[in-house]
Every structure is written in structure tokens, then in C-alpha cells.
Structure 1
């Protein structure tokens, strides 16, 4: 009948303990005795004869489940800690972004009127895109979806001064805000430094009424961007309410997107629509008209002198 590995391990351990006890008690005698080598040799040979063959894999197998469990626990704990830290960091960053783009401190009246103020700009932009589609359709198929090509082109030319003129009005208004802040003494008195924004805005805005539509819209886009930068700095330095920077960002984004959409729509019909009269054409037409009126007046004067002579 074969012994189990556990029984063999127990007997092996007991044999080792007996041998260690005998060796320690007879250590001094074994050193001085002549027969010590023979005794040790016999003892060693007998111990080797009695010792069963133990496979190293058994001891490893006995400790492996515990070691594996510890490794798994440590790795899972590290992953859980990393996940917790990562989620906490993502939540903190999300909260920072939310606080940065928050509009909760903006007065409701200012928010409502500001969003209502960009509606005309957005409406003219969408109308320009649609009329551009109608003009292209009429050029390709001979007729538009709702309007004819000529009607769509005429309506487009009617929208141009509305969008450019309204942009000039809004730019002037944004500059005038800083005059009000200076008069109220918000954040202190800054004098010409603050008045300059109120003067520069209309000085750039109103000449765009004389530009061709594309150049006028591009100029106004740059002016809106510059004024937003100036307003954001004013809010950051205490020269304007702290919510004014984000408030202006939202409104400027809508206006800027409207201008870009208008420019894209007009680009699609650049080869189809007749070019509008530029300021140079209008000045030349005015000079020609004045010259023609002078020639007609001179002709009438000569005719009247001829009648008097007769």
C-alpha cells in the first residue's frame, strides 16, 4: 500500500528533527573521535536511504494558491485606486469646464435681450444661405424651388445692407458699453484708456457700410473678435462684471458663425450673381452725373442766349 505525499512529508520532517538533535548533542564527541567520519557517513547514507523522494512541485503547489491570491488582490487594488484617481480627476476637470462656461451669474434680462439681439443677424445669415441655394438651382435647372433666380438675387441684394448695417449698430453699442462703465466708475476710473474702446468700435464699424459686402463682413468679424478680447480682459481685470467675458463669448460665437455662414453662401454664387456696385463705381457714377448735369445746364444757357439774340 503506497503512502500519501503528506505522510511521506511528515516522516521526512521527523527524521530531519531527530538527526539534528543527535548531531547537536554529539558535536563535541564527533570532532575528537576517530570513527566520526564513518558514523557520519553511515548516518548520512542511512538518512538518504530512509528519506523519500519529494518532488519540488509539491511545495510550490502548496504555496501557489496563496501567492496567486495575494498577487491578484494587489493588482486589483492598484487598478481600483487608479480608477478612483482617474474618475476623480475627470470629475474635477469637468467641474472646472462647467464653471468656466457657466452663465448662471448673468442677469436674466441681459441674457434674454442679448440672445434676442443676435436673432436678426442669424436670420439674415440663414436667409442668405437659402437664397444662394435658390440662385444656384435656378442657374442649373432653370428655376428655383420657391423663388425664381432673379427674385432670389433681388432679395439677396436687399439683405446685404440689412446685415452689414445691423452689424455696424451692434459694434457701436458694444463700444458704448465701456463709456457707461467709466461713467459708473466700475472698478475705478480709467479715463481715455476705457473711452478708447467706445470710440474705436464705431470708427471701424460705420465705414464698413461703404465696403463691398464680403469685405464689410470680414472687417466686422475681425472687429467683433477684437472687442470680445477687450471685453474678456476687462472682466478678468475687474473693469467689467466677472460674467461679462463668458456672456460676450456666447454672443460673439453666434455672430461669428453667422458671418462665416453668410460668406460661405455668397462664395457659392460668386460666379452666378452680378457683382454689386462698389464704392468706386458709385463715386464714378456721381462724378459722371454731375458732369452731365453741368453740360445740360450749359446747353440750356446757350439756348436761352440764342433766343434773346433773335
Structure 2
């Protein structure tokens, strides 16, 4: 009945006597008292001595005696201070603080996060790049004007492709399909030729810098830039239109990389790399725009190679047709002349 945990806990809370006297005998043997004392429940409980009970009091007294006079004066001063009520500072969150913050330290007010901070920074960078404040105004305006023909031919290519694709009964919005095709074939060599001229001109700038001695005289290294650029540029005029455009795009990008390296080494002014970035970006975008427009052309519009074959075959056919017409015309003339001579002979005989 007394083997559960509650009964044992209740028995432990009751302090048993040091010895259990026998009910039958008034005096118990010492050996029996010794065994009974150490075998009782009381012998198993920890007994706190009076010295141990006095240790907290002694520690408090020793700490009190170690307090200096300055600390005593400070405690006396603090005890006399009056705490002023400040109900205006009490709020629902005045007694709370962040988990990892310090109590009593005023935190800086949190500013609302600017969602568009990154976008505004990028826009400012783009504006600073395109402002070109260090570039001479003459070079800036003339360089931008030089990209207008290239950009115009690209826009015209896209317009002609749109007109050809949207022509109804042979007519588009402004031009007929035949007129748009002829205009497209006309501007193709213009764009390739003008791109070759620009690429050659950008390479020739390094010859001028070498002659002027800007950044020192570099010799063959800088002259080679002005030689390789036109060699690559003018070889594109013998390529098909798509291959020529892609080659010129790679040439402009490669020359831009060379110009950046030259600026880093001090061969060109510091503003030249930014200036070249603007020109390369416009020309590269124009080339991509042209390729997109040409990719939308219908299949029945021949390319440059196909047009050469068609022109050659058409010329031969037209030449043979002209020769046949000329031969037939000569036969008719000979037949007419023969008839005239026969008529004259008959007249003579009748006389």
C-alpha cells in the first residue's frame, strides 16, 4: 500500500527521530541504537548544519564591509533622488526592445527602404555615361552624326521587310512589294560600304595618334591596328549580306576592346573609351536591327547571291532573245528586199 511515489515523498518530508526506542523495553542496547539510527529514514536525509546555515549571512556581512566610502555616498545619493514621472513617454512599445539590442540605448530611427534605389542608381550611371562631359563637343556631335546613315539603313531594312510581309494584292502601306524589294536591294551595299568606311576610319585614328606621339611612340604595334581594321572591313563587301553584317559586328567589338586596352596603357585620351562605347553601341544595335529585319523577309525574296545568279541567267536569256529577234528582223528585211527585186524584174519584162 505504501509503495507508490506519493507515499515515499510524504515519508521523506517527515523528520524521523534520531533513534527508534523499542516499545517493549525502556532502555535499548547501544549497538541496537547505533544500527537503528543509521538504518532509519532520517539517516538518509541531508542534514544542514548550523555553520552551513550561517554562511549566507557571513557572506553578506563581508560584502557589506568591503563597500568603499565612495560607493556608500553614491548609494545614499541615489536613494534620495526623486523619480520624476514622464507619462508622455509611456506607450504600448516603450517598455519593449529588440531581442539583441541593449536596454537603455536609443536606436536610430529606421528609414523606409527605397525599393527603387538600385534602379535609380543604374539610371544615374547611364546618364553619366551618355553625358560624355569630358569628350570634346565637336568630336561628340560629329561622331553621333556619323552613325546616322548606318542607323537609317537599318531602320529602312526593317521598314521594307514589314512592307513586303504586309503587302496586300502587291501593295503595302506606302510601297508596293516590288518597290520595297528594289529599295531593300539598293540599301544593302550602302550599309555594308558605309560600315567598312567607319571601321577603317576608327583604325586609322591610331595612325594619327602615333604621328602626334600621344602616349609615346609605339611603332609597329599601333600601326598594326590601322592596317588590320581596314583589311577586315573591306573584305566584307565581297561577302553575302548576312555574313558581311556579322563580320562587321565582330570587327567593331574587337576594335572596341583594342581601344579600351590602348586607353588603359595611355595611348589615347581617357575619354576615348567612353566615346567609343557610344559609337560601338549605336552601330552594333543597327547591325542587330538589320539582321532581325532580314530574318523576317519572305522566302521568295532572293538574297545577294541568288540575285547575282538570277541576274546572270536573266542577262543570258535576254541576250539570246535579242539575238533571235535581230536575226528574225534581218530575215524579214532580206525577204522584203528579195520581193522588191522580183517585182522590178517583172516590170522590166512586161515592158
Question: TM-score by structure 1 length?
Answer: 0.62
Shift of 1:275: 2.5
> What is the DSSP-based 3-state SS (H/G/I as helix, E as strand, rest coil) of the residue aligned with 2:304?
coil
Rounded Cα–Cα distance in structure 2 between residues aligned with 1:72 and 1:275: 75
Please name the residue that 1:231 is paired with: 259
Structure 2 residue corresponding to 1:77, chosen from 92, 96, 107: 107
Question: What count of residue pairs does the alignment treat as equivalent?
Answer: 224
**Is 1:265 equivalent to 2:290 in the alignment?**
no
How do 1:85-234 and structure 2 match up within 5 A? 102-138=131-167, 141-234=169-262
Q: Please give the root-mean-square deviation of Cα atoms over the aligned residues, in Å.
A: 3.8
Q: CA deviation at 1:272?
A: 3.2
Per chain length, whose mean CA-contact separation is higher, i.e. which structure has more relative contact order (CA < 8 Å, sep 6+)?
Answer: 1
Contact 1:153-1:273 within 8 A present in 2 as well: yes
1:141 deviation in Å? 4.9
The answer to which of 157-166 and 101-110 deviates more is 101-110
TM-score by length of structure 2 reads 0.55
- Within 5 Å, give how 1:41-80 maps onto structure 2: 65=90, 68-69=93-94, 71=96, 77-78=107-108, 80=110
State the match for 2:323 in structure 1: none
TM-fit CA distance, 1:281: 5.1
CA distance in structure 1 between the aligned counterparts of 2:127 and 2:171, rounded to whole angstroms:
49
In structure 2, the CA distance between the partners of 1:78 and 1:205, relative to structure 1 (3 Å rule), is same
Question: Given the superposition, is the C-alpha separation of residues 154 and 214 from structure 1 closer, same or farther in structure 2, using an over 3 Å criterion?
Answer: same
Deviation at 1:145, TM superposition (A): 1.1
Q: Give the deviation of 1:256 after TM superposition.
A: 0.6
Q: Check conservation: 1:175, 1:198, Cα contact below 8 A.
A: yes
Can you give the 5+ residue segments of structure 2 that lack an aligned partner in the other structure?
Answer: 1-53, 55-86, 320-351
1:77: how far off? 2.9
The aligned residue for residue 79 of structure 2 is: none
Cα distance in 2 for residues equivalent to 1:106 and 1:91: 24
**Which of 1 and 2 has greater Rg?**
2
Unaligned runs of 5+ in 1: 1-30, 32-61, 293-310
SS at match of 1:232: helix
SS of match in other structure, 1:104 = coil
* Secondary structure of the structure 2 residue equivalent to 1:277: helix
Contact 1:211 1:279 in 2 (8 A): no
